[in-house]
């Protein structure tokens, strides 16, 4: 497995992998709950069922953090055959409520100017 591309977006991250396994095998690993459970446990998911499925091409799941503030995100797995007979796997992980996350993760001592609010 080669990490070909790693793009950080404003509200998520995209990863792309080149796998030697054929697309049918990769599809089974990401779409059949018994196989998916080996690397993406149902406890990490907001719902163990996929929110959308395009058979053989794309599957999407909702995830939820196990600690407060229990942020939700969407992870999408896209597969396409590659020229070597293997599979290109793209994983897109997006935060569902990015504005809340930005406020929740701001450091208390971020050295930005202090502003007082008028009552």
Domain boundaries, the chain: 2-97
| The pLDDT value given to residue 100 | 52
Contact 59, 31 (CB under 8 A): yes
12 or 29, higher pLDDT: 29
| The pLDDT value given to residue 56 | 95
Question: Would the pTM count as exceeding 0.85?
Answer: no
- The CATH number of 2-97, from 3.30.1300.10, 2.60.120.380, 2.30.42.10, 3.30.530.20, is 3.30.530.20
Which of 78, 76, 77, 83 has its CA nearest to residue 20?
83
Question: H/E/C letters for each residue in 77-102?
Answer: EEEEECCCCCEEEEEEEEECCHHHHH
Q: Is it the case that residue 25 has pLDDT exceeding 90?
A: yes
Q: What is the pLDDT of residues 97-117, one digit of tens each?
A: 655 545 545 555 555 555 555
Q: What is the pLDDT of residues 51-79, one digit of tens each?
A: 999 999 999 999 988 888 888 999 999 99
Helix (H) or strand (E) holding 31: helix 23-31
């Amino acid at each position: 497995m080669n990490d070909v591309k790693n793009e950080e977006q404003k509200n998520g991250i995209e990863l792309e992998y080149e796998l030697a396994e054929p697309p049918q095998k990769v599809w089974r690993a990401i779409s059949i709950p018994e196989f998916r459970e080996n690397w993406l446990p149902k406890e990490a998911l907001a719902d163990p069922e996929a929110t959308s499925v395009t058979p053989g091409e794309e599957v999407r799941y909702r995830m939820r953090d196990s600690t407060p503030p229990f942020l939700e995100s969407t992870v999408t797995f896209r597969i396409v055959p590659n020229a070597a007979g293997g599979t290109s796997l793209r994983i897109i992980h997006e935060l569902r409520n990015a504005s809340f996350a930005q406020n929740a993760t701001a450091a208390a001592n971020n050295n930005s100017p202090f502003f007082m609010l008028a009552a």
